[in-house]
Amino acid sequence: MVTQALIEWNIDPTSLPQQKWLTDQQLNLDLSHTKVDLTEEGWTIQIRITESLPDSWDTYAEVQFLTDPDDPLEEGFTFLLWAGSYVADVTIVGITH
């Protein structure tokens, strides 16, 4: 499943490529251990930045879920991007497919 998302980064994403699926090495993070919160199982996801918002670290992106989320993904659903530390808030803004 691929969704459109707003990502509010806690790290500077300006060095990350746009329009390409990011690898763990590019983020220097282990996205296979992304967590909704510290107590739940992780989801395996991929991120493709589609647009940077001016004067901020926020970006729009496509998020591909490689493992099915337990919760229904609807507009406004927010989860933490957790990869060894708190990296970003990800808010679903639309379902693609």
Amino acid 86: pLDDT? 80
The pLDDT tens digits of the residues spanning 13-54 come to 888 889 998 865 455 544 444 444 444 556 778 889 999 999
Number of domains in the chain: 1
What CATH number is attached to the domain comprising 11? 2.40.30
Amino acid 9: pLDDT? 93
Domain that holds residue 24: 2-96
pTM: 0.79
The pLDDT tens digits of the residues spanning 84-93 come to 678 889 999 9
Q: What angle do CA 37, 63, 72 make, to 5 degrees?
A: 60
Amino acid 58: pLDDT? 97
